[in-house]
Structure 1
Amino acid sequence: MSLKAVRVIEIPDATGSAFDHGVFDAKSRRVFIAHTARSTIEVIDHDAGRHIATLPGFPGAAGAVSDDGEILVTNRGSASLAWLDASTLQTKAVLKTGPRPNGAAIVKSLSLGIAACIGDERHPPTLQAFHLNDGSGKTMNLPGRPRWCVTDAAAERLFLCIREPSLILVTSLPDLSPIAQWRLPSGGAHGLDIDHAAGRLYAACDDGALVEVDSRSGEVTNVWPIAGPPDVTFFNPATGLVHVAIGEPGLVETVDPRTGQGMQTTTGAGAHTTVLVPPDQLYVISPAHSGILVLSDT
């Protein structure tokens, strides 16, 4: 297995800046990146390999998720969730959330948007599910600070990393009924992704471990050491590899769950967020590269 640098895509005003979660939308063939420091969304045309738009008006943008041409952005600075059209780049709606929304998910078939909110001194951390068409929804309190979340293939369950106590919270969809809390053997559950075919979750933890969990039972099936506190985590179904971005010292830790083999690819200081573009590319958002370091995942 190997990750090889293939090109750099420049983003305006990116040098030394701060970014967070991004996503590839397969329908539009575009990549949407939360540019947290500038309160914008950066849009990349993947096939052309170039930056095509900077969308303003996303205060403290913390993350972006997609489903078949629909984009959700969590705006940590304005306690809101923005719903975008990936083709027109127009904002369809903005929904109020709890303070400091962080992790997010979207299910187009259910017209459902999800925001996991950190809260503040007056408001506890919460998980919220919205019907995007009318803004109605449900809220549940969380046992700790939320990180990232994913859904299962059938969009019947949501899995959410909680920092402390370090666990994966499981709820039903769309009603957010609690199902389980699966404690992890490493502190600070953070980045999360899922292998739908094998029924495995991959949770990267701040204490320096990548934890594999059975998505049906919650059983911990493997633990691998990683080089430092992680952030964005992606499972690539095309290669079977898990990629974990680590901002300091600036690398991507890659693990093959089938063999336990690991590899480190140097990126750049502060490059803590990535975007998987199936089947074979990983975008590393790197302020040191003034934008995106594109790696081939082969």
Structure 2
Amino acid sequence: MIPVVVKNIVEEAHNVVRLVLGSRDGSELPAFEAGAHIDLHLPSGLIRQYSLCRLQVEPQYYEVAVLKDPQSRGGSEEVHRLTIGNELAVSAPRNHFSLVDSPRHSVLIAGGIGVTPLLPMAQQLQKQGRSFEFHYCAKTPEKAAFSASLKTASFADKMAFHFSQQADSGRMDMVSVLSRHASDSELYVCGPADFINDVLSQARMQGWAEERLHREFFAAPDPSEDESDNAAFQVKIQSTGELIDVSEHQTMYEALDNHGVFLAVSCESGVCGTCQTGVVSGTPDHRDVFLTEAERQQGKWVMPCCSRSKTKILELDL
């Protein structure tokens, strides 16, 4: 963990604050590329993942922007109670949502607070002189973090704002936006789960290739399964051969933890990728939103915090 101090707090929109986090001793923080996120270790012990929302201008600072979510499990509310001078800890940046090194045009689509990882992507694309367009969807300008600064950014000519509750704006026409570049672009989308799924579904209908669809979820969609869909199974530990029962009321992580098998877990909903574990044999029942469709089909990885097994035994690389 890296010790940091809250250097500044800025209200970026209604219920959205931007934290400027600086190293405690003024030393440089680990560098990162657009799309990266950090684990923020809060005073209560909660750990939450937040996208780094701006490229570093000074190497001793990170910036994150956090929406106070009414459905919060406590993390965003605690962030909004922080004050300047509070001491925290963060992880080194990790990136599962990086820009593809490609000459293709990039289409960035943000829904609400999903703007945070896309903003540094726009900065990086602009810096590299690459072709892109940036669509920002929100209810109103007052609820759209960074909307004022984006209108005057160096890439302002590439911005398109879609405010669903503003008469002279309205919702984004997904068909129009996605049909223009279906064969020659990379798509990057972030926002609420339903928003992401709608964009990806429409992109597939417009003929976008799966490998050019890039997304990052902040939260999992509401689960479609209830507990009656769960079946008991066993997890096999490859290194020891031990078989551990997983009941229909347990997650793999809970069963492993009860038997003293350590597994790093953070979000517990299949969003962040912290618990990603290799699969040796068996067929996972994927219930995460972290893995891509191609990765799910390969069956080489599973998220034990939420996913289950379609076979009676799932052998893990533990």
| TM-score for both structures, normalised by structure 2 | 0.27
| TM-score for both structures, normalised by structure 1 | 0.29
Which of these two proteins has the greater Rg computed from alpha carbons?
Answer: 2
